[in-house]
Structure 1
Amino acid sequence: MSRFQVRKVAVLGAGVMGAQIAAHLVNLKVPVILFDLPAKEGAKNGIVTKAIEGLKKLKPAPLGVAEDAALIQAANYEEHLALLGECDLIIEAIAERMDWKLDLYKKIAPFVAGHAIVASNTSGLSITKLAEALPEEIKPRFCGIHFFNPPRYMYLVELINTPTTLPAVIDQLESFVTSGLGKGVVRANDTPNFVANRVGIAGMMATMIEAEKFGLSVDLVDDLTGKKLGRASSGTFRTADVVGLDTMAHVVKTMQENLKDDPFYSTYATPAVLAGLIEKGALGQKTGAGFYKKVGKDIMRLDGATGEYVAGGKKADEIVARMLKKPAADRIKLLRESTNPQAQFLWAILRDSFHYCAVHLDTVADTAREIDFAMRWGFGSSQGPFELWQQAGWKQVAEWVAEDIAAGKTLSSAALPAWVFTGPVADNGGVHSAAGSWSAAESKFKPRTELTVYQRQAFPEALFGEGSVDALKAGTELFKNEELRVWTLDNEVVIASITAKLHLISPTVTEGLLKAVEIAEAGYKGLVIWSPDDVFSAGANLEALMPVFMKSGAKGIAPEEKKLQDAMLRIRYASVPVVAAMRGLALGGGCELAVHCARRVAHMESYVGLVEVGVGLIPGAGGLTYIARRAAEMAAAGNANADIFAFLKDGFTTAATAKVATSALEARKNGFLLDSDVIVPNKDELLHVATAQVKAMAESGYRAPLRALFPVAGRSGIATIKGQLANMRDGGFISAHDFYLASLIADVVCGGAVEAGSLVSEEYLMSLERKHFCGLLEHPKTQERIMGMLQTGKPVRN
């Protein structure tokens, strides 16, 4: 199948979802036209223009960098429908009104290109009914697409076909959404609320029912159903507030109107407390009050009995919290057998989840895989319901659920399906197997899709029971120590994976990285530094150096610091390309490691910065040297007579304020990524792209940069910076210690007490870094910051 080319996308509807979908598209450099109604007053594009401006102010930020809002082309239905002919994909994202959507389809139909895919972004309306309003020639290219809010950050996208949708169209759209937009796709059946909202909202309704039954307050329920249970930290009621109580009620209404034959229908009744809040206009976070209300600095919770807001903060009983830390089988058994009301509540909601998913699997989803991934990616669960059931012991849990059904304890009297107890699932001990996941509708295990796009994912997210290979046990191992593994998948490219907690860089990690470079140079095309989770490296491991410091003070740290600096230069000047495959946190030493690589391949959600001032230190592994060198390189590229200081200011400020880029796009703007670096939308394609970059560089005759001297801003640059810092200190904007730290940073990035334009080496600047870094270790204010961070995990301002 030829690749589906998406050269331009139209998004219809500039509301909350439409505007943020457009923002995510421009983040990934997909040209987009955002449409809405013509404004009744002023410029016809006024509604869209206002929405685009609003994107710059939203939190969390829908745009990687706010300036990219200008890349969204504004349009209206009265003047610009002909522009639809330029678009390969049209995403309709107007309000959840069937009549409005159908009316819009009639307007756009004559202008849709003959090859374009048309998709409706809806959280639960029938895609088949929507298709009926389209001309016959568009129906084969029409489907549903459901982005979760906020579209930039939520990994889940559901795709829904109709009886007339061509299979190739869904395949093409899945490939684009996966690789081009970086999402995890779940194919859903065209049933009310599809997969994630059907199962997730049913689970929230069940939780509310069980909470009332057991007399538990909203804050206690959220503590029990948050991280302790392996779910989103916001729990149940706070999640409802974030989503919007009116939005939740809308989803519930869809279930009430369309699922009257559902054996769980009685659980879809709108709880009185929810109806009461909506009636009062308390719709959750967006109105300032819902199940919770912020009063000053305090978070108050709703008392369901009185309707008043009272002090919150209730936590799970310690005995229950301990149960939740046990392995799955022990955990479920303890909860079920406990007499503690909190434990009984937790067993009840887990049982309700298992029961609901088993009864509805044959209609809601193609396989159990879709349900588990939908709950992971759409509702923040660490495991889907079927995974947990399987891990806890399929047969035993099934018997317990059946016992509760017989005893009338469950929310529905519907029996568990026969496939739960007999046949392939029972024999396998669950719905996930190496052969695939169980399809209740087809009574067989079905493997994952074989779309070409998934060949780019060496280690896709795995489900319990699939028998997937752990990335850190895969391939051929070439070297390993306690905190780093060196291995290869293809005998062409070496991979170095840091295994230490948060991938902190210790002397052991440094030793491993040097060994990885040595191995790569001995007979491979290059080296990729990659680990299979959401952290590249959170920085240097200060605790690992504590025994050395306690024994020998700063003098003992200096040799270790030099080893780390030398390792950075060894990576920079390796004879084969070293590529940093970055994802998630790349802070402090992690950032310094990345910038010394020959190239960076970064996931869109990479958070990069030099954060050492937060612990009273300055970057000490070449980060400031990098800033000085890049300033000189940029000045030389622009004009041989350019003022280096003009290029230095931003780098200095970024380090002195510990500014962290909140996207790969912002990291590029801040100078931690270069124009030649690659930004990858999908986290699971990072290793594939990084490996391809190494091979391409090697095939192109890669040569390491030549060691060269470069000019610095010198003492005049230092004086200019310190003058500005003095004003900030005297104005009370920074503390005396902040002033001192920033002055030391200025000393390094400007090259110390030399004349402006003096030529220096990286080793010279690193020696300044090392001197100041080690000196700060013995400063009382820095020691306060370090101890505060180690004890609380939060920066101390002193």
Structure 2
Amino acid sequence: MGAAIAAHLANVGLSVRLLDIVPSELTKEEAAKGLTLESPAVRNRFAQNGLNAAKKAKPASFYRAADAAKIELGNFEDDLAKIADCDWVIEAVVENLAIKQSLFERVEKFASKDAIVSSNTSGISIAEMVKDRSPEFKGRFLGTHFFNPPRYMQLLELVPGPDTDPSIIEEMKTFGGRVLGKGVVLAKDTPNFIANRIGTYGLLVTLEAMKKFELGVDEVDAITGPAMGRPKSATFRTLDLVGLDTFFHVAKNVGQNVTEDWEKAAFEVPAYIEKMLENRWLGEKTGQGFFKRVKSAAGAEIMALDLDSFEYRPRKKLKSASLDASKAAKGSAAKLQALVYGKDAAGQFAWDVLKRVLLYTANKQSEIADDIVAVDNAMKWGFNWDLGPYETWDAIGVAQSVERMRAEGETIPSFVEELLTSGHSSFYARAKGEVPRFYVGKDEFRGVEEPKEVISLARLKEQGKVIKQNAGASLVDLGDGVACLEFHSPKQAIGADIIQMIDVATKEVSANWQALVIGNQASNFCVGANLMMMLMEAQDENWDELNMTVHQFQQSAMKLKYLDKPVVAAPFAMALGGGAEMCFPADHVQAAAESYIGLVEVGVGLIPGGGGNKEVLIRAIEGVPDGVDTRLDPFVQKAFENVAMAKVSTSARDAQDLGYLRKTDGVTANRDFLLYDAKQAALGLVQAGYTPKQQKPIPVVGESGAALLKIGVFGMKTAGYVSSHDVKIAHKLIHVLTGGSVTRGTLVSEQYLLDLEREAFLSLVGEPKTQARMQHMLTTGKPLRN
């Protein structure tokens, strides 16, 4: 965990020292090399192993491999004095209070008097760790609980001790949100803080309910996933991913540190978990846990553990009317209502689990956090719930659910009783266009605090800030003369509505606005063009219609590129195919750090059709100085490989290395701040005296350059790596990227390349094997190799 935290700190540009303990004995490999216990490679072995694990981690711990160079390795014996020049010292050693106390005694001797010192503990008392340290040290000490994996999990729990300087808490809130990209929650110094306290309780009551309702682990996962607003990994797949040893430790820690007998009993782990620990069935890390992947004649199959026989069996599909109703419902609230008020076993099970989690949360509210917003955010950011506990209560109806709880003999926490007796029916009050207010007790509501960097498109639209709109997109006023082009078609897929709105937006912004931002706040920026529409047109042989659609798409991108006002794109998550092509024309891209950008059309038997080939080529060769007699082939080859191999960036920084983004483009660690940063970048271009781009001729490598690329494709075909249809696609791509039937060094226009691209795209979409690939992707979500 320490190495994974170090990796994320390096991701955001910080220099990091990673220290670990010194080994007490040599490994066989070290002895064979003639190393001794005094050899630096041996003394730094554990730190090196941690870094190696971070480098190999899947999903990747680093934004890009080069970021690992920002980490300097060492050990506690030789290098602890080096923390003197560190601004922040993070402890992430074994969860043992005595060991932590001993380490902090040593840290105090070397750390700067201005350094912030923190523990990444998941639940040990912050006050106890430093009870024997000086007042000055205690004032700079707090808990900083990252969730695993630190790069991807949004939650950062800040846990002040009784003596922590409030100004340090404020500093770390800002730093955690802005620099580290985290959702920061303030937690109280109680066992396992907020998210692990509630999350672990929820997992344990799920195990108890499973026994009560006589369900299997696979059946429970069918109920406790998306239907309940939880991740697809649900309960038991989540436990396998986390590791049963980790879960056992967290549950044990709460049980040992709470005082009431009923709560100690609630955190007792079932005997079968202990048996699994004895068997080393820890989950993903040991290859088996509640689930196990086995090879069969039909291929790999996932088997589920039968907790009665302790044998693995094929997974069962749960049939349930309430589950079906939940799947058919739209939105998290409607899905939950359909499930928990269902009359069948799945509905009863979901209600039993949810009821107990909600009651426990409300019982512990004042103990674990200052307000309900912290609790809701902790569960959304730390456990990936769609709705926090109090948002969930609002979704299923507080009065209705409490009435049912009373009827079932439950004691309702006073915090909830106060809400209802004061005449309120929900924990949140949402007025149209305003920041939500939340219940704080005794008939009082308070506005949710948001950083100034948060822009909500939904609230702006409620405030009447829509400039233009249609079914697929809207133009929204962000303020200060900046408009935002928001895609809101299904999956933000580009179709006729979005193309039309781009035309409207460019005219409107040119006439009345200072700048344009392209961005939205959906799950993904844009997953590409409307594949279903293209396939249907091709199967109906509507070639003129397809040609016109692709031409309009290309021209929309050109209108964005040569608009007389600055354009900033704000991609995040998936920006694939047409999504990438909407970013390429922008004057500046302000990308979320977690941006997965790429041209993936070859996966469905096509090449990009919206100008992507042209833009990748321009980016590849634009670093070559004008007037220098340099062969462009290596640069064109890079562009070819990016598109032909459908390379998708693993982060925004990786997108810069691939050439999809320029080094001058910006990266925002916290996606919640992305639109704000994009708006500021647009205003910066305005204030700098924006000059619209001018078209320039593009040098191409022509037929001789194409021949070189085709040799490589021939080698791949001969070696059996690609099919004949792959070769056909590659040759079409080469024809476009090299400029067609011209000689090396010919200067061509952007429109010339767009015409080549459109012709190649249309010829491929007419191919039966391409249509088969498109159909397979639409049906299965997976590529077909034919």
Please indicate, yes or no, whether the TM-score normalized by the shorter chain is above 0.5: yes
Measure, in 1, the Cα distance between the counterparts of 2:195 and 2:722.
47
Whether 1:25 and 2:9 are equivalent positions in the alignment is yes
Corresponding residue for residue 312 of structure 1: 315
- Does the residue aligned with 2:479 lie in a helix, a strand or coil? coil
Distance 1:262 1:521, change over 3 A: farther
The one-character-per-residue Cα deviations of 1:218-270 (angstroms, maximum 9, x if unpaired) are 00001110112210111111111111111111011111111131543322111
Of 515, 523, 526, which aligns to 2:515?
A: 526
Whether 1:747 and 2:743 are equivalent positions in the alignment is no
Of 539, 561, 578, which aligns to 2:550?
A: 561
Corresponding residue for residue 187 of structure 2: 188
Corresponding residue for residue 10 of structure 1: none
Corresponding residue for residue 301 of structure 1: 304
The one-character-per-residue Cα deviations of 1:156-212 (angstroms, maximum 9, x if unpaired) are 111101110111111100110011011111111111010000000000000000100
The one-character-per-residue Cα deviations of 1:677-728 (angstroms, maximum 9, x if unpaired) are 0000001110111000111101111112221112111111110111111111
Corresponding residue for residue 388 of structure 1: 392
The question of whether the paired residues in 2 share the 8 Å contact of 1:472 and 1:485 is answered with no
Measure, in 1, the Cα distance between the counterparts of 2:719 and 2:45.
42
Corresponding residue for residue 84 of structure 1: 83
Shift of 1:650: 1.6
Measure, in 1, the Cα distance between the counterparts of 2:455 and 2:720.
52
Q: Which runs of 5+ in 2 are unaligned?
A: 25-36, 431-435
Of 455, 463, 481, which aligns to 1:458?
A: 455
Shift of 1:25: 1.1
1:213 partner letter: K
- Does the residue aligned with 2:571 lie in a helix, a strand or coil? strand
Of 501, 517, 532, which aligns to 2:506?
A: 517
Corresponding residue for residue 110 of structure 2: 111
The question of whether the paired residues in 2 share the 8 Å contact of 1:471 and 1:532 is answered with no
Aligned residues: 761
Moved more, 572-581 or 427-436: 427-436
Measure, in 2, the Cα distance between the counterparts of 1:455 and 1:697.
21
Measure, in 1, the Cα distance between the counterparts of 2:691 and 2:284.
54
The question of whether the paired residues in 2 share the 8 Å contact of 1:362 and 1:439 is answered with no
Measure, in 2, the Cα distance between the counterparts of 1:493 and 1:336.
44
Compute the TM-score of the two structures, normalised by the length of structure 1: 0.92
Corresponding residue for residue 372 of structure 2: 368
Instruction: Please list, as runs of the form range in 1=range in 2, the aligned pairs for 1:199-210 lying within 5 A after superposition.
Output: 199-210=198-209
1:34 partner letter: L
Measure, in 1, the Cα distance between the counterparts of 2:10 and 2:69.
9
The question of whether the paired residues in 1 share the 8 Å contact of 2:593 and 2:652 is answered with yes
Corresponding residue for residue 59 of structure 1: 58
The one-character-per-residue Cα deviations of 1:91-131 (angstroms, maximum 9, x if unpaired) are 11111111111111111112212221111001100011112
- Does the residue aligned with 2:525 lie in a helix, a strand or coil? strand
Instruction: Please list, as runs of the form range in 1=range in 2, the aligned pairs for 1:680-719 lying within 5 A after superposition.
Output: 680-719=668-707
Measure, in 1, the Cα distance between the counterparts of 2:646 and 2:194.
42
Taking only aligned residues, the RMSD between alpha carbons, in angstroms, comes to 2.0
Measure, in 2, the Cα distance between the counterparts of 1:209 and 1:612.
48
Corresponding residue for residue 598 of structure 1: 587
Of 384, 400, 405, which aligns to 1:401?
A: 405
Measure, in 2, the Cα distance between the counterparts of 1:47 and 1:20.
13
Shift of 1:644: 0.8
The one-character-per-residue Cα deviations of 1:346-372 (angstroms, maximum 9, x if unpaired) are 110111112111111121111111221
Measure, in 1, the Cα distance between the counterparts of 2:351 and 2:444.
29
Distance 1:585 1:384, change over 3 A: same
Whether 1:677 and 2:655 are equivalent positions in the alignment is no
Corresponding residue for residue 422 of structure 1: 418
Whether 1:611 and 2:608 are equivalent positions in the alignment is no
Of 11, 17, 20, which aligns to 1:36?
A: 20
Distance 1:425 1:156, change over 3 A: farther
Measure, in 2, the Cα distance between the counterparts of 1:711 and 1:294.
52
- Does the residue aligned with 2:293 lie in a helix, a strand or coil? strand
Measure, in 2, the Cα distance between the counterparts of 1:394 and 1:512.
41
The question of whether the paired residues in 2 share the 8 Å contact of 1:713 and 1:756 is answered with yes
Shift of 1:391: 2.2
Shift of 1:79: 2.5
Measure, in 2, the Cα distance between the counterparts of 1:674 and 1:535.
21
Instruction: Please list, as runs of the form range in 1=range in 2, the aligned pairs for 1:91-106 lying within 5 A after superposition.
Output: 91-106=90-105
Distance 1:95 1:125, change over 3 A: same
Of 348, 351, 356, which aligns to 1:352?
A: 356
- Does the residue aligned with 2:72 lie in a helix, a strand or coil? strand
Moved more, 554-563 or 52-61: 554-563
Measure, in 1, the Cα distance between the counterparts of 2:420 and 2:510.
50
The one-character-per-residue Cα deviations of 1:418-454 (angstroms, maximum 9, x if unpaired) are 33223577522122235743346x884444346xxx1
- Does the residue aligned with 1:128 lie in a helix, a strand or coil? helix
Shift of 1:540: 1.0
Shift of 1:659: 1.2
Distance 1:508 1:94, change over 3 A: same
Distance 1:316 1:184, change over 3 A: farther
Distance 1:386 1:324, change over 3 A: farther
1:490 partner letter: G
Distance 1:76 1:422, change over 3 A: closer
Measure, in 2, the Cα distance between the counterparts of 1:498 and 1:581.
12
Distance 1:285 1:768, change over 3 A: same
Shift of 1:34: 1.2
The question of whether the paired residues in 1 share the 8 Å contact of 2:227 and 2:323 is answered with no
The one-character-per-residue Cα deviations of 1:355-403 (angstroms, maximum 9, x if unpaired) are 1111111211111112211111111111112112112221121121122
Whether 1:542 and 2:541 are equivalent positions in the alignment is no
Shift of 1:75: 2.3
Measure, in 2, the Cα distance between the counterparts of 1:357 and 1:403.
20
The question of whether the paired residues in 1 share the 8 Å contact of 2:656 and 2:663 is answered with yes
The question of whether the paired residues in 1 share the 8 Å contact of 2:527 and 2:577 is answered with yes
The question of whether the paired residues in 2 share the 8 Å contact of 1:367 and 1:446 is answered with no
Corresponding residue for residue 438 of structure 2: 437
Shift of 1:663: 0.8
Corresponding residue for residue 31 of structure 2: none
Compute the TM-score of the two structures, normalised by the length of structure 2: 0.93
- Does the residue aligned with 2:78 lie in a helix, a strand or coil? coil
- Does the residue aligned with 2:439 lie in a helix, a strand or coil? strand
1:238 partner letter: R
Corresponding residue for residue 8 of structure 1: none
Q: Percent identity?
A: 35
The one-character-per-residue Cα deviations of 1:461-509 (angstroms, maximum 9, x if unpaired) are xxxxxxxx53544452211111110121214111110110111111221
Measure, in 1, the Cα distance between the counterparts of 2:65 and 2:339.
48
Whether 1:321 and 2:320 are equivalent positions in the alignment is no
The question of whether the paired residues in 2 share the 8 Å contact of 1:420 and 1:426 is answered with no
Measure, in 2, the Cα distance between the counterparts of 1:316 and 1:360.
35
- Does the residue aligned with 1:776 lie in a helix, a strand or coil? helix
Instruction: Please list, as runs of the form range in 1=range in 2, the aligned pairs for 1:569-584 lying within 5 A after superposition.
Output: 569-584=558-573
Measure, in 2, the Cα distance between the counterparts of 1:432 and 1:518.
40
Distance 1:425 1:611, change over 3 A: farther
Distance 1:428 1:337, change over 3 A: closer
1:746 partner letter: I
Measure, in 2, the Cα distance between the counterparts of 1:265 and 1:48.
37
Whether 1:735 and 2:723 are equivalent positions in the alignment is yes
- Does the residue aligned with 2:575 lie in a helix, a strand or coil? strand
Instruction: Please list, as runs of the form range in 1=range in 2, the aligned pairs for 1:330-345 lying within 5 A after superposition.
Output: 339-345=343-349
Distance 1:330 1:89, change over 3 A: closer
Measure, in 2, the Cα distance between the counterparts of 1:284 and 1:323.
29
Of 751, 754, 771, which aligns to 1:766?
A: 754
The question of whether the paired residues in 1 share the 8 Å contact of 2:254 and 2:267 is answered with yes
2:12 partner letter: L
1:31 partner letter: S
Instruction: Please list, as runs of the form range in 1=range in 2, the aligned pairs for 1:78-227 lying within 5 A after superposition.
Output: 78-227=77-226
